[in-house]
Amino acid sequence: MPKIKLADSTVQTIREICKKYDNKEGELINVLHNVQEKLGYLPAEVQEVIALELNMSVAKVYGVVTFYSFFTMIPQGEYPISICMGTACYVRGAEQVLNEFKRQLKVEVGQTTPDGRFSLSCLRCVGACGLAPVVMVGDKVFGRVAPQQVKDIIAEYHEGCPHEAKSA
């Protein structure tokens, strides 16, 4: 695993978050949530700092990170794409939309394209059921998305997407 060197300020941020939770092992999930919110993801080096601060083994931290699907160890893409998998979206075809994103971007859920532009994730209900199925790219919401529109959404963020260029 290639090691990344965390900036001192990042380490400081993590420490502060841990401190906010009294450096308690029992608060691990909250700490992870907060840190991921700040940094976007939880690479190994970040988990090591958290383990040290909460005085627990890094294996346990990693165990929790891999148990919950909302934690990720991969940096988010420049444009994080999230597909709502709530009941309403699901019954109106969210899965097909997701599969189309996977196909076009050639990544799985939880992964980021090699060029770092897009990452793919699933969400639980975002409360926009009237618009189902819902896709979010960053903060922007796309409603009533059909698989056929996926190409256009990607293109909007990525002029001359390499996969498209090939098939053209």
Of positions 66, 103, 127, 156, contacts another protein by CB under 8 A: 66
Helix (H, G, I), strand (E, B) or coil at 28: helix
Ranges within 119-158 binding another protein (CB under 8 A): none
Residue 56 sits in the site that holds another protein (CB under 8 A): yes
Residue 58 sits in the site that holds another protein (CB under 8 A): yes
Q: Report, in Å, the least distance between residue 19 CB and another protein.
A: 22
User: Among 108, 87, 92, 67, which Cα is nearest to 147's?
Assistant: 92
Q: Report, in Å, the least distance between residue 134 CB and another protein.
A: 25
Segment near another protein (CB under 8 A), from 55-63, 91-99, 127-135, 160-168? 55-63
97 near 83, Cβ under 8 Å?
Answer: yes
Segment near another protein (CB under 8 A), from 26-34, 61-69, 95-103, 139-147? 61-69
User: Among 48, 56, 47, which Cα is nearest to 23's?
Assistant: 56
Q: How far is CA 20 from CA 24, 58, 64, 135, in A?
A: 9, 20, 20, 34
Ranges within 14-53 binding another protein (CB under 8 A): 44, 47
Q: Report, in Å, the least distance between residue 23 CB and another protein.
A: 17
From the centroid of its chain, how far is CA 106? 16
Of positions 61, 105, 131, 134, contacts another protein by CB under 8 A: 61
Q: Which is nearer to another protein, 47 or 104 (CB)?
A: 47
CB < 8 Å & 24+ apart, contacts of 126-132: 126/84, 126/86, 128/84, 129/86, 129/88, 129/89, 132/84, 132/86, 132/88, 132/89, 132/91, 132/92, 132/94
Q: Which residues bind another protein (CB under 8 A)?
A: 1, 44, 47, 56-63, 66-67
